[in-house]
């Protein structure tokens, strides 16, 4: 378990950071499907079409998860309660449903 | 090309749906002789599904990510023109669920490693159930949106 415990840390951090990323706009980059172009900065909507943030949020979350999982020593990672692996996603699901409720009002 | 990828995405989702549902039933099963259909459905070795589920989930998510770009340009715009905010809303929730599930996979794999540790039984059950809900939700939403405005129309 100890040898692979960092995987649980990665999951914990990346799921939380993903939700923070879409909530606060922390996308690593934007993708413009009309231009098939990745950009770090916003491009003018009139000429560039809609920007997609999804891949950028996932990039932010993946990097945060990898960095924290590498920093945390395995002996501490192994002490992470296994309940965190399902309690946190359930809370994130609840947050997501509240965050997206404006579509249904 | 996009339509082909979408169909492939749907077919992989079907395989993922079947596998993760089997595994969820097996995780919640109490050891006893399988005497009826449901018990026999659940009487599988859950751990043997894990690697296949991880590969299928990642592959399905990648294919979904590829067809997402044309969806954003063609379908979402059409849904906005049709004044169907709920359709866009259910898709937004789908993208978040699938991303959260993708990042849960390392923990899922960890807790399903054999020999199965009894102290992680609850984590195994609930992580797998959460992933199953994400997959079912994603599958149904994809199906509904395709019915509203499928590719190639």
CA-CA distance, A75 to A77, in Å (whole number)? Answer: 6
pLDDT tens by residue, A1-25:
666 899 999 999 999 999 999 999 9
Helices and strands, number each (H, E), in chain A: 5, 2
In this prediction, residue B151 has a pLDDT band, given cuts at 50, 70 and 90, of low
The ranges assigned to domains in chain B are: 2-149
Sign for the CA dihedral angle at B25, B27, B30, B32 comes to positive
Q: Given this model, what pLDDT does residue A100 score?
A: 95
* φ, ψ dihedrals at A79, nearest 5°: -85, -5
Tokens read off for B95: 């993208």
- What is the reported pLDDT for B45? 87
Contacts of residue B5, defined as CB under 8 A and 6 or more positions apart, other chains included, come to B63, B66, B67
Average pLDDT (A47-75) is 95
Predicted pLDDT at A91: 98
Interface touch B106/A11, C-beta < 8 Å: yes
Cα-based distances in Å from B131 to A95, B45, B101: 17, 18, 6
Q: Is a pLDDT exceeding 70 seen at residue B153?
A: no
Q: Which residues of B touch A19 (CB under 8 A)?
A: 96, 100
The three-state (H, E, C) secondary structure of B82-134, written as one string: CCCHHHHHHHHHHHHHHHHHHHHHHHHHHHCCCCCCHHHHHHHHHHHHHHHHH
Q: Is the separation of the CB atoms in B93 and A54 below 8 Å?
A: no
Q: Are B59 and B12 in contact (CB under 8 A)?
A: yes
Whether the Cβ atoms of residue A91 and residue A20 lie closer than 8 Å to each other: no
Indicate yes or no: CB of B106 within 8 angstroms of CB of A10: yes
Distance from CA of A100 to the nearest CA of B (A): 7
Interface test with A, best of B100, B117, B130, B138 (most A CBs within 10 A): B100
Q: How confident is the model at residue B37 (pLDDT cuts 50, 70, 90)?
A: confident
Could you list the residue range(s) of the whole structural domain that residue A44 is in?
2-104
What pLDDT, on a 0 to 100 scale, did the predictor assign at position A105? Answer: 87
- Count how many domains chain A has: 1
Q: How confident is the model at residue B35 (pLDDT cuts 50, 70, 90)?
A: confident
Checking if the pLDDT of B152 tops 70, the result is no
Q: What is the pLDDT of residue B46?
A: 87
């Amino acid at each position: 378990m100890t040898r692979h415990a960092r995987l649980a840390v990665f999951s914990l951090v990346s799921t939380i950071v993903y939700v923070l990323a879409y909530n606060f706009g922390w996308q690593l980059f934007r993708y413009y499907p009309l231009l098939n172009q990745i950009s770090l900065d916003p491009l003018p909507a009139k000429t560039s079409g809609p920007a997609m943030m999804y891949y950028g949020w996932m990039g932010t979350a993946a990097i945060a998860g990898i960095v924290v999982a590498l920093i945390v020593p395995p002996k501490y990672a192994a002490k992470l309660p296994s309940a965190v692996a399902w309690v946190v996603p359930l809370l994130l699901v609840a947050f997501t449903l509240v965050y997206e409720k404006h579509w249904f009002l | 090309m996009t339509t082909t990828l979408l169909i492939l995405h749907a077919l992989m989702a079907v395989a993922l749906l079947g596998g993760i549902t089997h595994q969820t039933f097996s995780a919640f099963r109490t050891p006893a002789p399988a005497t009826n259909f449901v018990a026999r459905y659940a009487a599988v070795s859950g751990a043997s599904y894990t690697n296949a589920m991880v590969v299928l989930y990642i592959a399905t998510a990648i294919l979904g990510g590829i067809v997402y770009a044309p969806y954003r340009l063609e379908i979402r715009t059409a849904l906005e023109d049709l004044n169907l905010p709920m359709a866009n809303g259910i898709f937004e929730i789908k993208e978040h669920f699938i991303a959260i599930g993708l990042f849960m996979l390392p923990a899922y794999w960890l807790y399903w490693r054999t020999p199965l540790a009894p102290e992680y039984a609850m984590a195994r059950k609930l992580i797998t159930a959460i992933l199953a809900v994400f997959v079912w939700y994603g599958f149904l939403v994809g199906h509904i949106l395709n019915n509203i405005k499928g590719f190639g129309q």
